[in-house]
Amino acid sequence: MPPIADLANARILISNDDGIQAPGIKVLEKIARAISKDVWVVAPETEQSAAGHSLTIRRPLRVRRVSRRRFAVDGTPTDAVLLGINHVLKGRKPDLMLSGVNRGANLGDDVTYSGTVAAAMEATILGVPSIAFSQFFHPGHPPRWSTAEHWGPEIIRRVAAIGWDAGVLINVNFPDVPHAHVGGIEVTCQGKRKIGDELVERADPRGESYIWIGAQRAEETSVPGTDIEAVLRGAVSVTPLCVDLTHRQTMRALAQGLA
């Protein structure tokens, strides 16, 4: 994608996976309106965390107008972005899509589950440059939304001025530190961070067992150059992610071995 030269006149579409009423999406609206006046919101009606890149195809979807340029979709983040681009804004495609700000980080393997990243991925597939934003926080403490709000506009302006390839989305994670204490912006790769290592089995009042997937994660926290290490050190992490999942080296090896 070429650089976005005129952000002031850019049409920006916003979505998320925490729902239309989430605090993070209101923060992202402030970020977007600090850049452009042509801001639209099309987001899920309710929270869709960990929905991944899922699409609703077995029932109809409803779009509810919340207010001027704000719409709620009773589906997934992918549904919201698809309808936002091809239905709500069908007269003119957005120039930029922003997803988030997610309540909690999307680092390492989290991105494969994340509805926040999936919303940006859907826009990328539809040809719209996209950035996903997430705010890391520690359990028991409120998210530092002011950190995202302070650093968000600068990151958008700088990344948009550079541009990035079609089929690539930008994944941004803000650290859990006051905005004045952020240790800069760093370009990173994905680390390793897997949810679901802890399964909690319990019994309901009828004696039937059920299982909660816990939040415990196995993390590589000290590997330099990764998104996890940067955010835990207090930096803003910026990671380019590919929609194309093909592994070229293995593809070449298979082509030779199967020839």
Q: Which residues are annotated as a binding site for a divalent metal cation?
A: 17-18, 49, 102
* Half-sphere exposure of residue 154: CA atoms within 13 angstroms, side-chain side: 11
The kind and range of the H/E element at 25 are helix 23-33
Q: Kindly provide the residue ranges of all beta strands, DSSP E only, lying in 62-147, ordered along the sequence.
A: 63-67, 70-73, 96-103, 130-135
Whether residue 97 contacts residue 164, with contact meaning beta carbons closer than 8 Å, is answered with no
CB atoms within 10 A of CB 233: 16
Whether residue 173 contacts residue 231, with contact meaning beta carbons closer than 8 Å, is answered with yes
Alpha carbon distance 195, 248 (integer Å):
27
Alpha carbon distance 237, 94 (integer Å):
25
DSSP SS3 for 127: coil
Q: Binding site: residue ranges? A: 17-18, 49, 102
Q: How far apart are the first and last CA of the chain?
A: 35
The residue assigned the tokens 């600090």 is: 34
Alpha carbon distance 19, 126 (integer Å):
22
Alpha carbon distance 235, 183 (integer Å):
5
